[in-house]
Amino acid sequence: MSAQTAIEIKRPDGSTVSLEPKDQADGNATAVLGTDLAKKIKKDLDGAPLLLRVNGELKDLTTPLQNGDEADIVTFADPEGRHTFWHSSAHILAQAVKRIYPDAKPTIGPAIEEGFFYDFADLQISEEDFPKIEAEVQKIIKERIVPERIEYKNEAEAKKDFGDNPFKSEIIAAKEETLSAYRQGDFVDLCTGPHIPNTQVVQGFKLTKTSGAYWRGDAANQQLTRIYGISFPDKKQLKEYIHRVEEAKKRDHRVVGRKLDLFSFQEEAPGMPFFHPKGMAVRDELIRFLNELHAADGYVEIKTPVMLSQELWETSGHWDYYRENMYTSEVEEREFAIKPMNCPGCMLFYRNSQYSYRQFPLKVAEIGHVHRHEMSGALSGLFRVRSFHQDDAHIFMEREQIKDQILGVLRLADTVYSTFGLTYHLELSTRPEKAIGTDEMWELATDGLRSALEELKVQTGRGYKLNEGDGAFYGPKIDFHIKDAIGRTWQCGTIQLDMFLPERFDLLYDGKDGGKHRPIMIHRAIYGSIERFMGILIEHYTGRFPLWMSPVQLAILSVADRHADQAFTVARQFQQAGFRVHVDDSSEGIPKKVRNAQLSQANYIAVLGDQEIESGKLTIRTRGGDVLGEREIAEIQAKMREEYDTRSPDALLK
């Protein structure tokens, strides 16, 4: 082979890597592949190489590189790496099922938030069948099969591989972009890719459950069998996951929420939670807390309509980029959509008035009710719903205010999360493949976020992770990933710097020079979704909320029926003082009543009988079982008030 000139590959951190072209196994003698880059930077990688990100696009590791490309290697530590790993694992599952059940018809098999599922027609199984499926999966893993990409020239060519599968044929007929599939030994599946390098990369694999599902999520369509699974690059991670799942079962917010009577789901509104009075108490406290912080930080609050016209969503860009997730309706021959985001409504609010630089930064908050169509198989209690409330805020400013305002939001978020005892890390997500706006605008927006994060690092020592290509279509973002009591990480808050919506909605302000200027805008959410954040807190606390947000702060137990009237009289004293109180005047004995109060997670439990009526005091204990003895009602109220006002995580009545 004649000598070839080395090519230079740019890394996201600004460094370059020099790679020498060499003979490749596929006969392409002068190519430099993603695998070559992976070998070169192996020491820098956090795990085994899975994918190639080149010029912002995710590709198979076997993709050739060109001189001057910006490229990086994606591992399981990256969100895109996990997504592809789990989608590839779904292909392995489907291959195993087809080997054991040849008549089964694969339909779709996406990655979900944690793991994957695959839907099959003409398949009847139970969890008792999992061991033989998992055994076949292990055979496929050991075969070290390398997925091969297939690109079809047309629909007819694609249907040759899937002509006997009506579900795949339907997908093929609906495809507008290039049709592609991946061959994995004796199994072929429609897929846009990319895929993991080979099946042996999957070392830890477990099927978790099976359920029914409808094709396309529509009850009018054929019912399918859905199989869920989880996988990891090594068995240790799988073992840790299983332990975490067992611990999480004890904390499952759906179970705890039902026991505490916080919320429910009904068949009449799939994926849309019903909050009960006790759940509303928790939810209202979360909102009250945020509103107090907003007021102290100069925010104003608005409320915008839930349904807005198609024209608005076309202006915002959501109609082109988010249409499949929106609920729509025709009213008086006009198309409307229920809002999946609050942002466009706030743009209309801003445009309704005239602003000057003296009013900047203008901080506008809205706890808006939004709806997004999620696949039925992805719905999961309060964690993934179709109807929820976002604690959005939009901050309008001048360019020179960007860093200070982002730092202000970072400090606000820290105040919120630390109040709940939640730790977190930050991720900076950059321009995705599908995006609007110019290169200059994206560079300015990304630099604005990065400079604030660098300043935060200097001030507090808190670093951040770069998450290439995962920004919103209209701007880069900072995401908050919080860690709960058992070490699980949740993506909640976000800060997005946006110069595009102000331009699309022609937003202006009067500048210092007397001219009209375009404002810079920050999108910001701290809880993210109030429903999801509430679910996280239920599991974080296992329902044992601190007093300030507890649905039952004091349980009063009457010793006998003759004490019930006085118990309700005392309860009214506490209620008038602003506390949430429950009276147990049932015929159960005190030990059983105490146990019931503990199970209801009442922060304090007071017993009232002859002795207490005579003394005018209450015999009080904590839900943890500490008996504090008789206390004056005024003393109990004072300590509870202090505990509530300070939002103390600990009981202050000792």
Task: Enumerate the active-site residues.
Answer: 343, 372, 390, 392, 394, 477, 523
CA–CA gap between residue 384 and residue 531 (Å, rounded): 9
Describe the chain by its helix, strand, coil percentages, rounded to 5: 40, 25, 35
CA count, 13 A, side-chain hemisphere, 84: 27
381's torsion region: left (phi>0), alpha (psi -120 to 50) or beta? left
- Two tokens, residue 509: 């302000």
Phi, psi torsion values for 598, nearest 5 degrees: -65, -40
Expressed in angstroms, the distance from the first to the final Cα of the chain is: 82
CA–CA gap between residue 240 and residue 235 (Å, rounded): 9
Beta partners for residue 111, in sequence order:
116
- Two tokens, residue 288: 């009250």
CA–CA gap between residue 559 and residue 519 (Å, rounded): 65
CA–CA gap between residue 313 and residue 344 (Å, rounded): 8
598 and 605 Cβ atoms separated by less than 8 Å: yes
CA–CA gap between residue 252 and residue 229 (Å, rounded): 19
* Residue 18 CB partners (closer than 8 Å, separation 6+): 6, 7, 8, 9
Question: Considering Cα of 459, then 465, then 466, then 468, what sign does the dihedral take?
Answer: negative
- Burial (CB count within 10 angstroms: exposed 0-12, middle 13-18, buried 19+), residue 99: middle
User: In terms of Cα–Cα distance, which of 531, 242, 551, 495 is closest to 385?
Assistant: 531
Full DSSP string of 508-523: -EE-TTSSEEPPEEEE
Full DSSP string of 584-649: E-SSS-HHHHHHHHHHTT-SEEEEESHHHHHHTEEEEEETTS-EEEEEEHHHHHHHHHHHHHTT-S
CA–CA gap between residue 479 and residue 290 (Å, rounded): 18
CA–CA gap between residue 464 and residue 456 (Å, rounded): 10
Alpha helices in 65-177 (DSSP H): 79-100, 130-142, 155-162, 166-174
- Write the CA distances from 267 to 260, 275, 325, integer angstroms: 21, 15, 20
CA–CA gap between residue 71 and residue 68 (Å, rounded): 9
Question: How many CB atoms lie under 10 A from the CB of residue 515?
Answer: 9
CA–CA gap between residue 545 and residue 538 (Å, rounded): 8
CA–CA gap between residue 49 and residue 75 (Å, rounded): 5
CA–CA gap between residue 344 and residue 317 (Å, rounded): 10
